[in-house]
């Protein structure tokens, strides 16, 4: 048995300016992430908003106005939780979170959808597909499906503080 802990990440929570997740801007965010990544909105009830506003105030140490968060389901149980805060996070262009896909075709499909969306919305930022090869260290070969791997990835950003990296691992023996 390994000494490493075993757990899964189930969400990412990001603060954004309230105006970026309400009204027309909210619909634009949803439109992009639904079309490109097939994410869907999960709508919280009023009781949740009240409880979350109290929790957020406790976390930041001051009263905060209630703004409905934008929750986007990304898969089986995972989600992106965007909440409004006047002092929202600031990120560098390199900051991102990553998703792994099961095939290079899936990566290509997502990338093509983003490129198509970019034709009508200049806020889409894309770092095109790249392939980087890595040799696996002998000390961990027993835990890996091959001796060498090609990391195939791209980055797609749209109005959230963090971009999304899509990765596919092509293993070689």
17 and 99: one domain? no
108 and 84: one domain? no
pLDDT of residue 4: 61
Contacts of 171 (CB under 8 A, 6+ apart): 144, 145, 146, 148, 149
pLDDT of residue 83: 93
**85-132 pLDDT, tens per residue?**
999 999 998 899 999 999 999 999 999 999 999 999 999 999 999 999
Q: 35 to each of 15, 27, 113, how far by Cα in Å? A: 23, 12, 7
pLDDT of residue 66: 86
- Using CA atoms of 35, 81, 162, 106 in order, give the dihedral in degrees to the nearest 10: -40
3 and 79: one domain? yes
pLDDT of residue 149: 94
pLDDT of residue 76: 76
Q: 148 to each of 89, 105, 136, 151, 152, how far by Cα in Å? A: 37, 20, 5, 10, 13
Domains held by the chain: number: 2
96 and 78: one domain? no
Domain limits for position 48? 1-89
9 and 70: one domain? yes
Q: Which residue, 70, 89, 108, sits at the end of a domain?
A: 89
pLDDT of residue 9: 80
| pTM for the structure as a whole | 0.88
Mean pLDDT in order along the chain per 10 residues (173 residues): 68 95 96 97 92 91 88 91 93 92 96 98 97 93 92 97 96 88
pLDDT of residue 62: 85
123 and 145: one domain? yes
pLDDT of residue 156: 97
pLDDT of residue 89: 94
Q: Is 49 helix (H, G, I), strand (E, B) or coil?
A: helix
Q: Which two tokens mark 137?
A: 């260290």
């Amino acid at each position: 048995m390994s000494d490493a802990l075993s757990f899964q990440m189930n969400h990412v929570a990001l603060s954004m300016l309230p105006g970026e997740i309400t009204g027309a801007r909210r619909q634009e965010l949803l439109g992009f992430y639904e079309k490109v990544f097939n994410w869907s909105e999960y709508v919280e009830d009023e009781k949740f908003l009240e409880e979350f506003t109290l929790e957020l105030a406790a976390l930041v140490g001051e009263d905060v106005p209630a703004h409905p968060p934008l929750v986007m389901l990304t898969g089986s149980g995972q989600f992106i939780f965007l909440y409004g805060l006047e002092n929202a996070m600031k990120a560098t262009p390199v900051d991102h979170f990553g998703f792994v896909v099961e095939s290079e075709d899936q990566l290509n499909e997502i990338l093509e959808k983003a490129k198509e969306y970019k034709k009508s919305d200049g806020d889409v930022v894309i770092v095109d597909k790249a392939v980087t090869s890595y040799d696996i260290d002998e000390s961990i070969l027993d835990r890996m499906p091959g001796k060498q791997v090609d990391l195939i990835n791209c980055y797609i950003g749209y109005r959230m503080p963090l971009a999304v990296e899509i990765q596919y691992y092509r293993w070689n023996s």
